[in-house]
């Protein structure tokens, strides 16, 4: 027998947003290495597995990437079915490429089981169509922060007909607003901040780039920027303004 590593997307957090394949793989797993944002209800689907928390979050020390790579290889070489359980989709800002490289270098077989990424769950919860032939023909998923403490240059991303979904924006939305304006975004460009997308604790705040700095939102959150945010007329009950505790 040969061991194998399954990269499984846990989705944004709700148990009922898992794919059927993800559930089946978890139920048959021998070892699960899971990230910090994966809820316990999903981890518990791996009833017969050895479960190891390997999460890393901003501002907190966690398991190093090298250590995670070593564990995957060692467990797979011991003929185990190893699940590398990641929040959202494994291929969206989840270091999947680095982990695949380590397995290929060690000659370990792997499979990727996709999941619902937070950007899609956030748009669904807020009633936003990320593309709309009247307003946006393209979508960009990006992050505010880059490797080695760099910042995203939004100048190449902000443009007519594009929706920009900003993952991991940090807590300083005023800084994001300044960066968007410097990239050419108008103060009146609609945007939405969605916190804990796809979960029971989801909250949604609607604003414009000019009012983005007035919003306070719990992590994890993301920001959707573009005309599609304001495309659909909303009733008074649906309107959410740039207030610190707005929720939907």
Which residues belong to the active site?
A: 35, 56, 168
d(CA 189, CA 210) in angstroms, rounded, equals: 8
Cβ neighbours around 1 below 10 Å, total: 6
- Integer Cα distance of 49 and 83 in angstroms: 9
**Cβ burial, residue 48 (10 Å; 0-12/13-18/19+):** exposed
Could you tell me if 93 and 78 are in contact, meaning their C-beta atoms sit under 8 angstroms apart? no
Structure tokens at 194: 């969605």
The C-alpha atoms of residue 87 and residue 195 are separated, in whole angstroms, by 15
- The pairing of strands 190-195 and 203-208 is antiparallel
Q: How big is the chain by its Cα radius of gyration, in Å?
A: 19
List all residues 6 or more positions away from 192 whose beta carbon is below 8 Å from its beta carbon. Answer: 122, 126, 128, 204, 205, 206, 207, 223, 224, 229
d(CA 216, CA 205): 9
Residue with tokens 């609607």: 206
- Let me know: does 10 contact 113? Beta carbons within 8 Å: no
CA distance 225 to 158: 9
């Amino acid at each position: 027998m040969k061991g194998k590593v399954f990269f499984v997307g846990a989705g944004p957090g709700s148990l009922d947003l898992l794919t059927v394949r993800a559930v089946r793989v978890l139920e048959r797993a021998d070892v699960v290495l899971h990230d910090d944002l994966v809820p316990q209800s999903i981890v518990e689907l791996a009833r017969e597995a050895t479960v190891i928390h390997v999460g890393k979050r901003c501002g907190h020390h966690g398991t190093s990437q090298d250590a995670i790579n070593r564990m995957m290889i060692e467990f797979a070489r011991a003929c185990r079915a190893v699940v590398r359980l990641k929040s959202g989709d494994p291929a969206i800002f989840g270091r999947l490429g680095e982990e695949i490289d380590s397995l290929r270098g060690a000659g370990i077989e792997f499979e990727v089981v996709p999941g619902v990424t937070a950007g899609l769950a956030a748009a669904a919860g807020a009633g936003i169509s990320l593309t709309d032939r009247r307003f946006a023909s393209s979508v960009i998923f990006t992050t505010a922060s880059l490797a080695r403490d760099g910042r995203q240059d939004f100048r190449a991303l902000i443009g007519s007909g594009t929706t920009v979904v900003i993952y991991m924006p940090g807590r300083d939305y005023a800084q994001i607003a300044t960066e968007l304006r410097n990239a050419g975004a108008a103060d009146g460009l609609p945007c939405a901040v969605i916190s804990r997308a796809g979960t029971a604790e989801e909250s949604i705040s609607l604003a414009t780039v000019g009012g983005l700095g007035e919003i306070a939102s719990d992590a994890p959150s993301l920001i959707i920027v573009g005309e599609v945010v304001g495309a659909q007329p909303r009733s008074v009950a649906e309107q959410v303004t740039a207030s610190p505790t707005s929720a939907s």
